[in-house]
Amino acid sequence: MQVYLVGGAVRDHLLGHPYHEKDYVVVGATPEQLLAEGFQPVGKDFPVFLHPETKDEYALARTERKSGYGYHGFEFYTDINVTLEEDLIRRDLTINAMAMDDSGKIYDPYGGQKDLADRVLRHVSEAFVEDPLRVLRIARFAARYQHQGFSIAEETLVLMKQLAESGELNALTPERVWKETTRALMEQDADVYFEVLRSCGALKVLFPELDALYGIPQRPEYHPEIDCGIHTMMSLQQACRQNYSLDVRFAVLVHDLGKALTPVEELPRHIMHEERGIKPVNELCERLRVPTHTKQLALAVCKEHLKCHQAFNLKPGTLWRLLQRLDVLRRPERVEAFVQACECDSRGRLGLENRAYPQAQYVLDAMQVVRSIKAQDLPPEIQGPDIGEMLIERRIAALAELKEQHSAIL
């Protein structure tokens, strides 16, 4: 029985990157042998075991054969005679098809070390096209390693296009698409993920609402980059640059979906695009089963982002109602996330990436003002429904005072 560290841990070890997850392949063993040594079986489709102490995953060496449709359409074969090379050839990329034994010796039958040196993401074999999930994985790896100069091999991109055109992507479960997408969104260059999907035709299959933004013009005096798709990616770059949360990044990604629905005769203006965007944001979130809290912020940013840009011009009562809709009293963190997303939208424009966005601090100051006014501060004679009415009056009055203070500064 031989045990090898495989996959991402070996890749990141050679790149000098820290890694936490360790996966192992066991060659020349049976399930009974691992069970006898205290390993816990966890695999549903093929024999995978957890180490009794470290809880790392140990999988018996296996081969696989396409037998159906989609991500789960495979038959797996494990036997003590399956070799390490046979196990590694079923993997997606050469840089993920390497193994290391406990002495540190690297086993690299498919040229992974050369592709690491050349900064190339290349498929291992033609079996690449049997698994549609690999399109998302390669796009995610492209985003992860963009800052190190990695690019996708042309022949691999051809296979990704074949997968996108085959209809196999439709077999991916919403959970798998969302999982890969969330991991990609948290990369330093998340926009690369979506650009790669677009380049191979997968974006229009999995994210048609986003794909529809490309080629839609905007007014150049507000958007020097003009194209709505480019603006969305530039806005996402801003969210990555600030290391904002997943919820903020997703909200930025979908904030302008309504612009794809602007009637042609109205272009390049996009009147009412906020309201038009509610339907596609809802549809995208429902299709991918996006978590409720993520969806709620995305809808709020889609519908209200122009009001944040116009914050200094809003009447105190209008600003109060905006904060109310953002659930300012119970969820101040949502107001903060909303402001962050709006700031990314403002700066996601060609030549305006570093411009000031004082509206952010103004809205955050307004949030603190309304939250500081509480029922216990009211006169004791105020009771019942009068409490709510007076709280609103005082909060709007406080916002009016804040507006005057900012006007004096400006």
Do the strands 106-107 and 23-27 form a parallel or antiparallel pair, or are they unpaired? Answer: unpaired
Asked whether residue 131 is marked as a ligand-binding residue, the answer is no
- Is 40 a domain residue? yes
Amino acid letter, residue 264: V
Residue 66: the pLDDT is 57
State the total domains in the chain. Answer: 1
Question: How far is residue 178's CA from residue 287's CA, in Å, rounded to a whole number?
Answer: 10
Q: CATH no. for residue 19?
A: 3.30.460.10
- Is 238 a domain residue? no
DSSP conformational letter for 39:
P
- Is 59 a domain residue? yes
Work out the angle at residue 176's Cα, subtended by the Cα atoms of residues 171 and 179, and round it to the nearest 5 degrees.
155
Q: Which residues pair with 207 in a beta bridge?
A: none
Is residue 201 within 8 A of residue 188, CB to CB? The reply is: no
- Is 211 a domain residue? no
Asked whether residue 140 is marked as a ligand-binding residue, the answer is yes
Asked whether residue 389 is marked as a ligand-binding residue, the answer is no
Asked whether residue 351 is marked as a ligand-binding residue, the answer is no
Question: How far is residue 78's CA from residue 96's CA, in Å, rounded to a whole number?
Answer: 20
Asked whether residue 11 is marked as a ligand-binding residue, the answer is yes
- Is 33 a domain residue? yes
pTM across the whole model = 0.91
Asked whether residue 102 is marked as a ligand-binding residue, the answer is no
- Is 100 a domain residue? yes
Q: Which residues pair with 93 in a beta bridge?
A: 123
Residue 152: the pLDDT is 98
Asked whether residue 21 is marked as a ligand-binding residue, the answer is yes
Q: Region of 90 please: left (phi>0), alpha (psi -120 to 50) or beta.
A: alpha
- Is 69 a domain residue? yes
Which pLDDT tens digits describe the chain residue by residue (410 residues)? 899 999 999 999 999 988 888 999 999 999 899 999 999 998 776 689 999 999 999 999 988 765 454 445 457 778 899 999 999 999 999 999 999 999 999 999 999 999 999 999 999 999 899 899 999 999 999 999 999 999 999 999 999 999 999 999 999 999 999 999 999 999 999 999 999 999 999 999 999 999 999 999 999 999 999 999 999 999 999 999 999 999 999 999 999 999 999 999 999 999 999 999 999 999 999 999 999 999 999 999 999 999 999 999 999 999 999 999 999 999 999 999 999 999 999 999 999 999 999 999 999 999 999 999 987 777 776 777 777 788 899 999 999 999 999 887 66
- Is 28 a domain residue? yes
Beta strands in 55-194 (DSSP E): 57-60, 62-66, 74-78, 99-100, 106-107, 120-121, 151-152
Domain that holds residue 61: 1-118
